[in-house]
Amino acid sequence: MLVQFLSGYAVLHPRIFSGLIGKATAFKLHGAIQPATAAAVVLHGLPVLRRALRRRGVGGLVVDGLLILMGAGLVAFVVYLAVRG
């Protein structure tokens, strides 16, 4: 996650991070680490969110379905970005 954030900031703010990493390298690194970050969110973050909602009494098939759709949408978006290059 740290690499994801640092490479993203290096792409957006190249003057600040130019001594650490160039903008082109940061863009390539950001694109390479993006699928792993999305997988971490889908496989870890959404189940944690589901359990937290259940503890607060929010849940059921509708919430589970929405979380599944969010995960599927995130995976589809990352695949789309990877295909586009």
pLDDT tens, residue by residue, 10-51: 999 999 988 889 999 999 999 899 899 999 999 999 999 999
Select from 15, 5, 14, 11 the least CA-distant residue to 28.
11
Nearest-angstrom CA–CA distance, 75 and 11: 23
Give the pLDDT band of residue 82 (cuts 50, 70, 90).
confident
Tokens 């954030």 — which residue? 5
Q: How confident is the model at residue 59 (pLDDT cuts 50, 70, 90)?
A: confident
CA 36/CA 31 separation, integer angstroms: 10
CB atoms within 10 A of CB 46: 15
Rounded distance between C-alpha atoms, residue 38 and residue 49, angstroms = 15
